[in-house]
Structure 1
Amino acid sequence: MPSHGYDVIVVGNGAIGGAIAVELSRRGHAVARVGKSDRPLAASSAAGAMLGSFGEVTRHTLRSKYGRIKLESDIRASSMWPTWDRILSETSGQVDSLYAASGTVVLLNTIGTGTVDTGNFQAIRAALDEYRHSYEEVDPDSLDWYSPDPLSRSLQAILIPGEHAIDASRLLTRLDLAFNAVGGAVIDDDAAEVTTVGGKCTGVRLESGTELEAHSVIIAAGARSSTLLETLPELRRRIPPLVSGYGVSALVETADGAVPKHVLRTPNRAFACGLHCVPRADGTLYLGGTNVINERPRAHATIRDLSFLLECSVNQLHSKMPMAGVAAVQVGNRPVTADGFPLLGPVGLEGLFMATGTYRDGLHQSPLIAEYLADLIESKSSKFDALLGDFAPERAPLAASDRGDVVNRATEELLAAGFETDWNVKPEWPELIEQHARQTYTRRAAELHPAFTPPPELLAKLTPSIERQLIDYYEAWS
């Protein structure tokens, strides 16, 4: 080990931090990976691990430059997963593949609204056509295992045979094994702050008080990443603030042991990623579909969110799900930035990098991000610069759409959330709620900044603390 400590310290041991640490170690660097071994609050630990590009498309994705970059990054990452799976298997000494599901079926069911659900379903199909990616129409009634309540039946469905899923827990274990096999140093502690000397990043101080030194530090700590910059306030205010997209998932054992062979999911809806179920290699079934913006990561599921997830699964996936056993309840915290796009690359301090803010794409894009960050560490450039270069952390807000569009989207998603939760309102109330919501969101946006507008999820969930962070960030770029 070099006398100075390490070549690189990677803060974070989720899918992204783990992938970066393995990639750098494989290239011959002395790497320390910092993070508690039980990964509290991490998004990766509770992820469905769908390796989906087109399943995440919405009716707004391809309307902006950055939305297209997001899709094209997902597509590029998808092409890297077979090689990444092989590398992790060979490096860790594990012979089996990480893949747990073959293909994804996107369901358009009777839940939600035509604007959001039908609109996003049609957008997925249009994107598949535009990018000439294979898919096929399928009869929902012909799908194995799928047996929803009649009132939640699917109207249409498409099978995307190239969009698979893996087992997130097995991925994290394999990343640990691979990192150990290539000589990486595992630090079972959390980082408290970045240390600096003379305008240069020199390492990190751990919560235990120990200081680690390195030539470079990569912050890949998910939703908690920005807290490491609290001792660098002028730098921090020029980087989009991070909040948590808290989600609840459940692992269940079906009563008869049967699970679907494909991923089953709805389009993104109601500020979330759509209801989905993913078969696991051990025979359990992963259920997910919630996303709630919070100022700070949550450690425990609320009864409300867990109840909502399980009820949706019973109604929309399999009416006999109440007989399934709940093997585990999981909580993850997705890192969501103030403009909705990731923070990837060098920060305005020599030797400091970030790899976070990936929202729902982090695990899927982890092999791509790992190679990109490793390239930047070694040569300050990468073949992926044209694809990911716009996401440098120190930046003005990236706008995917204008303010009016953001307000409309927030209003539409709010109404979709109401219908998804089966609200019981008189026919005239949705129109009144829509008018009030649009006025409220328009006023909120104007109070934040004359031009900059956060994405719909943040606009709809503003708290005094989030509002202060946004105003401070916007002022830094005004």
Structure 2
Amino acid sequence: MNAPPPPPPISSFTPKVAILGAGIIGLATAFELAVKRGVPVTLYDPAPMGRGASWAAAGMLAPAYEAAAEEGVHPHLFELCMEGAELWPDFSIDLAHAADTDSGYSGRPSLALAFDKAETAAMHKLARALDARGISHEELPPATAHLLEPSIAPDLIAALQMPTDGQVDNRAVVRALIMALQRSPLATLRSEAAPLRSEGGRLTLEGHDLILAAGGWNTAAIKVEENGQPLSLVNWDPALDQIDCYGGQMLSVAHGYGSPETTLRCGAIYIAPKADRVIIGATVEPGVATEAPEPEAIAALHARAARLCPVLENLPVIETWAGIRPGTPDRAPMIGATAAPNLFVAAGHYRNGILLAPITARIIADLMLCKPLSPLHESFSPGRLCAAA
């Protein structure tokens, strides 16, 4: 007698997924699930899709500068950021094919600059951290840096070239993600808040099996109706209360003769040339949740950037804006399952939301499809924040 066939694997079940929040994390996860893995997805957001922090960002893909030498952060943040950077070339190709448009990805190396002793010490600290991790970089004398980027101010003391650090046009990416999802028969985009309900303490959303909370700094404030009352999602997992907001102000200027063509970093300042503009950013304002730029802060930011590249001083300002980043105490995202059985979260990416979008999408998709995670990916689960509190 033939033995009965083995039961189908758990992963053969295809869930219907609701994603709450259509920033780059929600969009990228919807793309991973619907376009690449064949999973039906509904994306909910009452705000314009692809706006918020994803639209306000500068598209930095900077694992070295943002994570290699940072103190007080998640011990494996740099490794996760490197994974994100390594996924971006293929992610941009897949997205371009699906949306039939360019995402503006560029892997060209960035330059960190130093003009005084403190900046030089910070640069050497970063170089030592990269040495310890075996990450490619090169310390450049001023003459070599000026050959690579002639717009840099003449009193440069030192520069560090970082081949790991590139950039992407974040606005082009979110537009491409929306276009790709609009083309997918498995993706539904809804410009409204998700009608979440609680039945017997369990989250429900009609027609969906699993829920992903990806609402940026507002994730904890997502509402759930219980007995006619709107409750915060934090009631289903207190870890969500660890997401805080960080304001940032930026501006863009028009290209002009001799304007920079290389991504430049110095302290908290970055200069990110795009095809149609040069972005200058950014202030870092903990606890600030305003999207209104302040003229004095913008003027000071513009002046600091012109200190690095004098040509920027007289280039016309195209746009000024402010954004709100979501952050956590260890400056790392929370990615994974929550205390609620059918609720997942992907939020709190701080300065690395664009960089980490592809790897976050992959982790969430693997979890939802019952695929095992690596210890590295598991270390970013929301439970770590409750344990540390």
TM over 0.5: yes
- The answer to whether 1:30 aligns with 2:40 is yes
Residue 189 (structure 1) aligned with residue 192 (structure 2): yes
Does 1:106 pair with 2:108? Answer: no
Question: What aligned pairs does 1:269-288 form with structure 2 within 5 A after superposition?
Answer: 274-282=268-276, 284-288=277-281
1:333-357 CA distance string (max 9 Å, x none): 1101244332111111121111001
Is structure 2 residue 356 aligned with structure 1 residue 365? Answer: yes
What is the alpha-carbon distance in structure 2 between the residues aligned to residue 127 and residue 328 of structure 1?
36
Aligned to 2:81: 74
One-letter amino acid of the structure 1 residue matched with residue 211 of structure 2: V
The structure-2 alpha-carbon separation of the partners of 1:119 and 1:86, relative to structure 1 and needing over 3 Å to count, comes to same
Inter-CA distance 290–382: structure 2 relative to 1 (3 Å threshold): farther
Q: TM (normalized to structure 2)?
A: 0.85
Structure 2 CA distance for aligned equivalents of residues 338 and 263 of structure 1 = 28
Q: 1:234 to 1:219 in 2, by over 3 A?
A: closer
Task: Give the 3-state SS of the residue equivalent to 2:208 in structure 1.
Answer: strand
Distance 1:238 1:137 in 2: 41
Q: Which amino acid aligns with 2:301?
A: L
For normalisation by structure 1, the TM-score amounts to: 0.70
Offset at residue 101 of structure 1 (A): 6.2
Equivalent residues, number: 363
Per-residue CA deviations over 1:189-213 (Å, capped at 9, x if unaligned) read 244x74222232212xxxxxxxx54
- Partner of 1:9: helix, strand, or coil? strand
Q: Distance in 1 between matches of 2:385 and 2:74?
A: 17
| Aligned partner of residue 252 in structure 2, secondary structure | strand
1:303 aligns with 2:303: no
Rounded Cα–Cα distance in structure 1 between residues aligned with 2:68 and 2:233? 37
SS of match in other structure, 2:379? helix
- Aligned counterpart in structure 2 of residue 312 of structure 1, from 304, 311, 317: 304
Q: CA RMSD in A?
A: 2.4
CA distance in 2, matches of 1:323, 1:80: 37
- CA distance, structure 1, for counterparts of residue 275 and residue 387 of structure 2: 39
- Describe the superposition over 1:223-271 as per-residue Cα deviations: whole angstroms up to 9, x where unpaired: 1111016445543434442221111111110442x4323210014xxxx
Measured after TM superposition, the shift of residue 97 of structure 1 is: 5.3
Q: What amino acid maps onto 2:281 in structure 1?
A: G
- Residues 93/320 of structure 1: CA separation in 2 closer, same or farther (3 Å cut): closer
**Alignment-derived partner of residue 30 in structure 2:** 21
Question: CA 1:227/1:154 → structure 2, altered by over 3 Å: closer, same or farther?
Answer: same
Q: Does residue 389 in structure 1 map to residue 381 in structure 2?
A: no
Q: Match for residue 218 of structure 2? A: 224
Q: Which residue of 1 aligns with 2:156?
A: 154
Q: For residues 285-310 of structure 1, what are the alpha-carbon distances to aligned partners after superposition, in whole Å with 9 as ceiling and x for unaligned?
A: 11112110125x31211223212211
1:20-63 residue CA offsets vs partner (Å, 9 max, x unmatched): 000110211111111246358711101111111111146444xx
Change in Cα spacing, 1:382 to 1:127, as seen in structure 2 (3 Å) is farther
Runs (4 or more) in structure 1 with deviation over 6 Å come to none
The runs of 5 or more residues in structure 2 that have no matched partner are: 1-14, 224-230
The answer as to whether partners of 2:50 and 2:175 remain within 8 angstroms in 1 is no
Distance 1:42 1:227, change over 3 A: same
What secondary structure, in the 3-state scheme, does the structure 2 residue paired with 1:361 have?
helix
SS in 1 for 2:310: coil
- Which amino acid letter does the alignment assign opposite residue 246 of structure 1? G
Q: Name the % identity.
A: 24
Q: Which runs of 5+ in 1 are unaligned?
A: 1-5, 204-211, 268-273, 400-473
Distance in 2 separating the partners of 1:217 and 1:195? 12
Helix, strand or coil at the partner of 1:329: strand
